[in-house]
A and B are shown apart, each in its own frame.
Chain A
Amino acid sequence: MSSHTGKFDEYGGQYVPEALMPAIEELEDAYERYVLDNEDGFMDEFRQRLADFGGRPTPLQRADRLSERYDAEVYLKREDLLHGGAHKLNNALGQVLLAKYMGKDRIIAETGAGQHGTATAMACAHLGMPCEVYMGRRDINRQRPNVFRMRLNGAEVTPVTVGRGTLKEAISETMRDWAENVEDTHYVIGSVVGPHPFPAMVRDFQRVISEEAREQTREKAGRLPDSVLTCAGGGSNTMGLFAEFVDDESVDLYAVEAGGSSLEVDEAEGVAPNSATLSTGTEGILHGSRTRILQDGDGQIMESHSVSAGLDYAGVGPELAALVDRDRVTAVNVGDDGALAGFHRLSQLEGIIPALESAHALGYVEDHHEELGEVILVNVSGRGDKDLETVLEETHDRDIEGAPDMDTFESTGGF
């Protein structure tokens, strides 16, 4: 779909305060010149830095025990092995480098799970740019290791206390900072959301995932996969993994959303106990673009929920919304329990502790592998170190298959 117009069918566009429009236009121009046309060798430098600093390409691993369990060929794209432990570095490095090419001298970002903030802080340290990261108070509490990592890399972490203190409030706060400091500051949006050119630009920085995965599957499986699955919150790893497969009609694409505790919504309270925007959201305008959003009948944005902070967002990328409307991408969802089970299963069967985000995709494969064909590609978008405290807490009171008995540790004084 179009990179130039900023529209993906009826989705996309630029819905931002006037003060930001000149910055958006400047960014649009920089995106076209440096990213699309490789002016001044920008993309060459980006790819070189992704290799040397980021550790690309990441491996495609055949998951032997999962393959046996499902009687299929299951391949894992190991974005958890990228520097920083998640796919987020691809985009953060791209945007911070672009900001340097544009002559900006300050970076701001927002973060939910902390992975994007961490990646941005690392990219800023690597490229010598000052960095401020906005993060909801609630997310700060549930993602403490990442907060520390950001600080270690020299970033300021600013808590956002309004609302419920999660990602959507942090995004609004970062937009306010940008409106105030737009002349020298670049806002590194962490997903394929926001006003044009962000959705197209972030996808293009993440596209490297599918460029590699497509070739690697051909080499290892001898053909393209039958199905490609990944988790979908805002949708950056989703679009990154799907981008090069969109034209391969034989490949089924599954965006696995957070079903949370239920798909039902409480309109009166304005609360959706899930973050399944593609499955249950409706068209509207949020944070700069027209897309699918979780909203009540009046158009007020709902509080979303997921056990995974990284998926806990009321919007989704406009291009992904359009691909779902066109039936090119199938939107499915897995609840908190299924994700936790997926987390423990991958840890125990393959020795990989995945991010809770990725665990949603693994949860879907468990229940639906018979429909997914013989060659299944799953993105492990990040590693789960940041989620250990959450998983310990959330697993404790539930009956999750394969989970170790945590009481044993507690009664003997912990680790």
Chain B
Amino acid sequence: MSRIAEAFADGPAFVPYLAAGDPDYESSLAYVEALERGGADVIELGLPFSEPIAEGPTIQSAIVRALEAGMTPTRYFEFVEDLAVDVPLVCMTYYNLIYQFGEGGGPDDFVRRAAEAGIDGFVVPDLPAEEAEPLREACDEHGCELVFIVAPTTRGERLERIMSQVSGYVYVQARLGTTGARTNLSDRAAESLERVAEWDVPKAVGFGISTGEHAQRVVEAGADGVIVGSALVDIVAQGVERGDPAVTVASRLEGKARELKAGALRGASGNERPHPERT
């Protein structure tokens, strides 16, 4: 069983996202480690790309901060090696960075180096299943998973095509648009989950989840995991804005992670009333 499969094996998985190097290398290491202490089962670790077309303003700003602080693919792999976490790591980035790495003019060098550093899988939002064959082959070669996103608009043949390529988990997009925390979670998460119900990979729902109550609801709707990015990146951004020490921000991240993980667990137990949300 792969490390990612194991992470989903014991009940609902909490899958947080942070951009590596936001707002700087050392703080970011502490922030990612805080997520594990807060209950992360898998961590999606963003490798910043200058044109993040699938991201909303929150994550886009995080990417700008990380790039300005000097994050590069080479530094990213060092970052992964410097991280003291045991949970599986999924690299979330855009295809041009994967394609340009090394000498090969293809994804193989990137995936090899990522696997060496300790990356278990990839999410590449601008790489649809139609163009993914070279990356799929490189992932198979180096023992990595390739996660695909299923959107509320994905139907018919496209679902089949994605199902034949996906491994690790399927990233179920809860609503249309780009990443970003929302106060109301669309019913489309449940609709989208229904369309992948028969797939033999875990289903993790993301886009717009920001509270423990959201996490609970998506698990109640049938998700095997919840993916949360912007709500965590917001905590980093607030820390930057207020000039808070990294240790304070890390502690807030850990607290938020606990809230989200607890929400997911409540969703699985299915018999507890939601608690009033902390902010």
Interface residues of A (CB under 8 A from B): 13-19, 21-23, 25, 162-163, 168, 172, 175-176, 179-183, 270, 283-288, 293, 295, 297-301
Contacts and interface: CB of A to CB of B under 8 A. Distances in A.
Contacts of B150: 18
Contacts, number: 120
A22 B51 contact: no
10 contacts: A16-B126, A17-B126, A18-B128, A19-B177, A21-B151, A180-B178, A183-B153, A285-B99, A285-B126, A299-B101
Nearest to B60: A162
Nearest to A25: B158
B67 interface: yes
Nearest to B105: A283
Given A172-B52, A176-B56, A300-B50, A19 B73 contact: no
A335 B146 CA distance: 44
Contacts of B56: 176
Interface residues of B, number: 43
Contacts of B152: 19
Contact of A22 (B55, B64, B155, B178): B155
Contacts of B155: 22
A293 B99 CA distance: 13
A172 B52 CA distance: 7
Given A18-B151, A179-B176, A300 B67 contact: yes
Nearest to A282: B100
B100 to A, nearest CB: 3
Contacts of B49: 299-300
Given A15-B131, A180-B178, A286 B99 contact: no
Nearest to A181: B176
Given A18-B173, A286-B96, A172 B127 contact: no
A250 B53 CA distance: 42
Contacts of A299: 49, 73, 96-97, 99-101
B125 A17 contact: yes
| Chain A interface SS verdict (over half) | mixed
Given A21-B128, A283-B105, 13 more contacts: A16-B53, A16-B126, A17-B54, A18-B162, A19-B151, A163-B64, A179-B54, A179-B177, A182-B153, A293-B96, A299-B97, A299-B101, A300-B50
Contacts of A162: 57, 60, 64
Contacts of A176: 53-56, 177-178
Q: B49, B54, B126: which has the most chain A beta carbons within 10 Å?
A: B126
Contacts of A16: 53, 126, 128
A184 to B, nearest CB: 11
Nearest to A175: B53
A287 B95 CA distance: 11
A19 B173 contact: yes
Nearest to B173: A19
B203 to A, nearest CB: 15
A270 B95 CA distance: 19
B100 A284 contact: yes
Interface string B105-147: 1000000000000000000011110110000000000000000
A17 B96 contact: no
Contacts of B149: 17-19
B76 to A, nearest CB: 10
B100 A17 contact: no
A225 to B, nearest CB: 37
A287 B74 CA distance: 24
A295 to B, nearest CB: 7
B72 interface: yes
